[in-house]
């Protein structure tokens, strides 16, 4: 796969702080000028949006997979005889869930 010079320039324009250094290195490499042979330090800046995504991801990871409050509530209803679900309702929900899961793929 080839990447055009225009595409490279478009990408470099999106990162103006680093773009000038990269463009000058590209120009030197095309002209054969290798006067700067020392490696440059590389730094990464994470955008505010990426930081927000990391925070949300961490928050989601802290949420338990099982909602114990809901489990205990349903358990109490079952034990007291107040929880009634027909087999037809269970089958219907199983089929709906299967279809929804397969549609998501």
Residue 85 lies in a domain: yes
32 occurs within a structural domain: yes
Predicted local confidence at residue 39, as pLDDT? 61
pLDDT in tens, 85-104: 899 999 999 999 999 888 86
Is residue 12 within 8 A of residue 19, CB to CB? The reply is: yes
Please give the pLDDT value at position 2.
Answer: 58
pLDDT of residue 19: 41
The verdict on residue 42 lying in a domain is no
Q: How many CB atoms lie within 10 A of CB 92?
A: 11
Q: How many domains does the chain have?
A: 2
Residue that has been written with the tokens 């928050």 in this structure: 59
Residue 76 falls inside a structural domain = yes
pTM above threshold 0.85: no
Domain annotation covers residue 93 = yes
Which residue range forms the structural domain that includes residue 79? 68-104
* For residue 77, pLDDT beyond 90: yes
pLDDT digits (tens, 9 = 90+) for 16-64: 554 445 445 555 555 555 454 556 667 777 888 888 889 999 888 888 8
Domain for residue 17, yes or no?
A: yes
**Within a domain: 59:** no
* CA–CA distances in Å: residue 55 to residues 45, 48, 58, 93: 16, 11, 5, 34
Question: Is 75 inside any structural domain?
Answer: yes
- Measure CA 53 to chain center: 7
Task: Yes or no: say if 16 and 23 are a contact pair by the CB < 8 Å rule.
Answer: no
């Amino acid at each position: 796969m080839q990447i055009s010079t225009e595409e490279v320039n478009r990408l470099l324009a999106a990162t103006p702080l680093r773009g000038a250094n990269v463009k000058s290195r590209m120009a030197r490499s095309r002209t054969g000028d290798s006067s700067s042979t020392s490696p440059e330090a590389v730094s990464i800046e994470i955008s505010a949006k990426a930081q927000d995504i990391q925070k949300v991801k961490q928050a989601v990871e802290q949420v338990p997979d099982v909602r114990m409050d809901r489990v205990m509530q349903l358990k109490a209803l079952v034990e007291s005889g107040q929880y009634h679900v027909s087999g037809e309702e269970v089958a219907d929900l199983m089929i709906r869930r299967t279809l929804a899961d397969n549609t998501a793929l």
